[in-house]
Amino acid sequence: MAKLYFYYASMNAGKSTNLLQADFNYRERGMATMLWTAALDNRSQGHPIASRIGLEANAHLFDGATDLWAEVTAAHTASPLACVLIDEAQFLSPEQAWQCARLADEAGIPVLCYGLRTDFRGELFAGSAVLLGIADALVELKAVCHCGRKATMNLRVDESGAAVAHGAQTEIGGNDRYVALCRKHFRAALAR
């Protein structure tokens, strides 16, 4: 029976690396996969899923208008898929998260979603909230705060490294804009 998985963590926990390793494992065994990532992250040419350690693979792009059910089932009909892997799953709409569940339940395709649980304010992303509620398996990947504790929060910083407490929920960036921290140091940084 196919399942819907949600692998979640703060920034720098290796979500994309884990996704690319899972993809490699399927492909090494001769199984077809389909990779997806959010269209709004346009930092790379060709729209690959890229890890901080240098691994990358090309992926299909989704935005709020993408019908994942239709796109994936059409591809699956043409050539059977063993797995669908979705990076930046926090950017899925609630409807798209349910489409992922439907792919597992009705099409029999395992769907592995990887994403952030919370934003820079500590609030759930809409896609993550639904995945946390409906996924068959929840897997927390670990990142480390500078103090050695588990990092669970994503602190947004400005150009000078100062904490940012207000703004749009989504602002694309890497280590230049976000720091993974434990809750204690996240709260301390925002209190300054």
Instruction: Report the C-alpha gap between 142 and 29 in whole angstroms.
Output: 28
Angle subtended at Cα 155 by Cα 149 and Cα 157, rounded to the nearest 5 degrees: 135
pLDDT tens-digit series, residues 75-130 = 999 999 999 999 999 999 999 999 999 999 999 999 999 999 999 899 999 999 99
pLDDT tens-digit series, residues 46-90 = 558 877 777 888 999 999 999 999 999 999 999 999 999 999 999
Residue 42: the pLDDT is 59
Task: Quickly tell me which residue has 């820079």 as its tokens.
Answer: 120
- Higher pLDDT, residue 163 or 85: 85
How far lies 152's CA from each of 1, 92, 181, in Å?
31, 20, 6
Pairing label, strands 178-181, 153-157: antiparallel
12 backbone φψ class: left, alpha, beta (φ>0; ψ -120 to 50):
left
DSSP state of 71: H
Residues belonging to the active site: 88
- Identify the structural domains of the chain with CATH numbers, from first to last: 4-142 (3.40.50.300)
Instruction: Report the C-alpha gap between 127 and 142 in whole angstroms.
Output: 20
